[in-house]
Structure 1
Amino acid sequence: MRKPVLTIFYQFNPWNTSIGGIQTLIKTFIKYAPNEFEVRLVGTGDENQPTLKWQAAELAGREISFLPLFFLKNDNFRSLIPTTLKYTAALLGRCLSSDFMHFHRLEPSLAAWNWHGEKTLFIHNDIHTQMQAAGDQKAILWRKFPAAYFALESLLVRQFSQILSCNTDAAEFYKQRYPLVQDRVAYIKNSFDNEIFYPLSQAQRQTYRRELALKLGLDEETRFILFAGRLHPQKDPVLLVRGFAALNQPQTHLLIVGDGELATEIRAEIGRLGLSGRVTMLGAVAIEELAKLHRICNIFALSSAYEGLPLVVLEALASGTPVVTTRCGETPKLLAADSGVVCEQRTPECIADALRQIILHPENYPTASCVGTAQPYAARTVIQGFYSKMLSRWELPSNSALS
């Protein structure tokens, strides 16, 4: 029997160190895809890959077919022409019909209007909050043209069999805004790879933490606060740096993992605040290295202006690390009193207070509580269940399979 074909559309090269929860989720979806499926990925390539040609590849131990549409040097930085626009333009005029098609941005689905198969749109942010967020107006280009965005969205959402959001507020927003497709809108759990993100014993944690401190030339009793993500206005890492400065707690060190357009501004702010010896910018790191940091840091901190449900939060919790977050996205609904602290205001002082709360009383945020909070989102359970439902739909007698 022919295998059902899943084609995933997103503007990245999975073999590069690409920063973002969407990229991580796609890789996890591929890793845990059952053998009953043929998996294809339409992304971007590097200078060593021929573009616009399907090629056999391996990702996370899984054989896939990969189609790079164009060469993209670094998807961690925005260019003058938005990558989404380039990606959508490269899809126009093509036919990539599949049994299942997963879109992680709305715009590329413009090219898929006449393609046959089950189409699913994944919503990764609370778009309503995203459009209204204060701050850098360049954070999302559509913020300058909200009416145009929602007009395009109202047209394109009709083609989707499923519209899935990892944010309950966003799911409700779509149901209310588009009543004709409200029965297709649902909440979906984001998921972390539980084979990569897991906790250490307390003794191991302390040993590896001391090793990291000595490697960085710090006191071996240093406590680490970790940020990981794209250095982008959405994540507002500059606010976190200011919050860390306001913390003013001895023997604490901020680790910033990631890259992006705010890197220069962050370095300048670190210098302005006199934090050069207390903040280390590590750049983009491989997921295995990030997992090691999650396992040994004392706190994971996120100062975002808007979110869906950040995978990196689940990864931190699964590693036994409590979370400090601003009140945005799904994270505040997820955290328990013994697995993290929610900042009620997006101010340096509020972030500093939350960090101090965990630094001074780590016993109130035990590893077991953090891991327990993340456990329902483990990939093996969530993603395999998702594929099982896909396969059931494909096997229905009424299914008109592609030949």
Structure 2
Amino acid sequence: MIAEIERLGWHVELVDVGEGFPWPSEAIRSTARARLLTVPAGCPLIIDGLALGVLPEVAAELAGHHPLLALVHHPLALEMDLSTEQADILRRSEHSALAAVAQVVVTSPATARIIATDYGVSADRITVARPGNDPVPRARGSGQDTLHLLSVGSVIPRKGFDVLVGALAPLASLPWRLTIAGDLTRDPAAAAKLRTDITHYGLSDRIAVLGAVPSQQLATLYDRADLFVLASSFEGYGMAYAEALAHGLPVIGTTGGAIPETIPPDAGLLVPAGDIAALTEALRRTITDSALRLRLSVAALAAARRLPTWPQSGEIFASALARLA
């Protein structure tokens, strides 16, 4: 997105506000404030929601000197594995922070509705800029009798890898193997639980957990896959789902958040988030029915042609910046 904005004439400088968001230490909060306040007055500021949502006082302070734009991928309080108290803290904090900004860019209509309804942001301040997609070749598949399933996402509770492993367990008699590609460092507890679940169900020889992989290796994984599956409880957009469509892969996912807006009904099978039995049945149908996989694949390619390109997304984002400036 930065490259597209710069192509349209904007000069972008990155400001590192530190790590540990959305639960930064007081030292990181202080550092973030100091670095943001060094930006010359009047210069538009785009602040990622992961940081902005927990810096409401800083947002209010900056708003007196800068046009502010919040980039919200999904509301912080909708992350899984939060206590009720933690979710309430994040919801109140992000509500206050968004009240201070002039414009909000979100990645899907679903997130726009949440921001408007639950966070009090007026529609005239919201711009939907879905992530862009690069043209890619259609996946060639594994070419084997044993289907190669691919799941891509950071190993955090919201991505539902525990649900996925539980759903695959009853299907051990079917010919499949699963590769999971995604950062294992963001939530060490979730990563440990994933490995424990795989061992518990006796699937260590069927499921490979690779961690984060380079883009070239990820492209190879998509190319060699026969089926994409991700059991997220919520997605503000779902870039991995969109990448799967672009490769023409049949998709199995959930109805959480913006996923149904990304995956048309004819391109994938979507089940309620957290419903292990329903996910098992969707996997069973798709693994055992080659004709179904072909129909989903053809529809996925058609859906991919309707996804925005990066230049199109960049123009939408730049329009929000123009209103901000």
- Give the TM-score band, short-chain normalised: 0.7 to 0.9
Relative to 1, partners in 2 of residues 1:144 and 1:227: Cα closer, same or farther, differing over 3 Å?
same
Cα distance between partner residues in 1 of 2:25 and 2:3: 25
Equivalent runs, 1:258-277 vs 2, <5 Å: 258=182, 259-260=184-185, 261=188, 262-277=190-205
What secondary structure, in the 3-state scheme, does the structure 1 residue paired with 2:157 have?
coil
1:322 aligned onto 2:256: no
Q: Which runs of 5+ in 1 are unaligned?
A: 1-28, 44-68, 73-77, 211-219
- Give the 3 Å change call, closer, same or farther, for CA 162–344 of structure 1 in structure 2: same
The answer to whether the Cα contact below 8 Å between 2:226 and 2:249 also exists between their aligned partners in 1 is yes
- Whether 1:199 and 2:137 are equivalent positions in the alignment is yes
- Contact 1:175/1:181 (8 A) holds in 2: yes
Q: Which structure is higher in strand share? A: 1
For 2:137 and 2:255, the matched residues in 1 are separated by 26
1:379 corresponding residue in structure 2 = 309
> Hey, what does 1:113 align to over in structure 2?
60
| Cα distance in structure 1, aligned partners of 2:27 and 2:242 | 31
2:230 aligned residue (292, 302, 306) = 302
**Distance in 2 separating the partners of 1:230 and 1:85:** 26
Residue 313 of structure 1, CA deviation: 0.8
Q: Is the 8 A contact 1:176 1:182 kept in 2?
A: no
For residues 271 and 180 of structure 1, the distance between their equivalents in structure 2, rounded to whole angstroms, comes to 46
**Which of 150, 171, 195 is the aligned partner of 1:226?**
150
Question: Deviation at 1:367?
Answer: 3.5
Q: Which amino acid aligns with 2:3?
A: K
Q: Quick check: 1:257 aligned with 2:181?
A: yes
- Which structure carries more helix by proportion? 2
Query: How far, CA to CA, are the matches of 1:31 and 1:180 in structure 2?
Result: 28
Structure 2 counterpart of 1:124, from 73, 93, 112: 73
2:38 is aligned with 1:100: no
Give me the whole-angstrom Cα distance separating, in 2, the residues matched to 1:344 and 1:303. Answer: 9
Q: What secondary structure sits across from 2:179 in the alignment?
A: strand
- In 2 relative to 1, CA 387–276 (structure 1 residues): closer, same or farther, beyond 3 Å? closer
- CA distance 1:232–1:387, shift in 2 (3 Å): closer
Residue matched to 2:276: 348
Note the alpha carbon deviations across 1:275-324, whole angstroms, 9 max, x for none: 11111111110122212212221221111222211111111111111211
CA distance in 1, matches of 2:137, 2:158: 28
AA partner of residue 96 (structure 1):
V
* CA distance in 2 between partners of 1:297 and 1:373 (Å): 18
**Paired amino acid for 2:13:** R
- Give the Cα separation in 2 of the matches to 1:256 and 1:179: 38
In the other structure, the counterpart of 1:282 is 210
- Cα offset, 1:87, TM superposition: 4.4
Query: In structure 1, what is the equivalent of residue 112 of structure 2?
Result: 171
Specify the code of the residue in structure 2 equivalent to 1:279. I
Identity %: 21
Q: Relative to 1, partners in 2 of residues 1:148 and 1:384: Cα closer, same or farther, differing over 3 Å?
A: closer
8 A Cα contact 1:163 1:186, kept in partner = yes
Give the TM-score of the pair, scaled to structure 1: 0.68
RMSD: 2.9
- Deviation of 1:237 after TM superposition, in Å, equals 0.6
The aligned residue for residue 14 of structure 2 is: 41
Distance in 2 (alpha carbons) for counterparts of 1:180 and 1:383:
22
Change (3 A) 1:267 1:173: closer
Shift of 1:246: 2.0
Whichever residue aligns with residue 348 of structure 1, its letter is: I
Change (3 A) 1:179 1:349: closer
Q: Give the SS at the match of 1:336.
A: coil
User: Per-residue deviation at 1:173?
Assistant: 3.0
Summarize deviations over 1:322-347 as a string: whole Å, max 9, x none: 21112201112332233100113623
Retained in 1: the 8 A contact 2:33–2:58?
yes
Amino acid at match of 2:314: Q
- Contact preservation (8 Å) 1:317, 1:373: yes
TM-aligned CA deviation for residue 113 of structure 1: 3.1
Cα shift readout 1:66-85 (whole Å, capped 9, x = no counterpart): xxx55x6xxxxx79x93486
Distance 2:235 2:27 in 1: 24
The answer as to 2:35 corresponding to 1:91 is: no
Aligned match for 1:82, one of 8, 19, 23: 23
How many Å apart are 1:360 and its aligned residue? 2.5
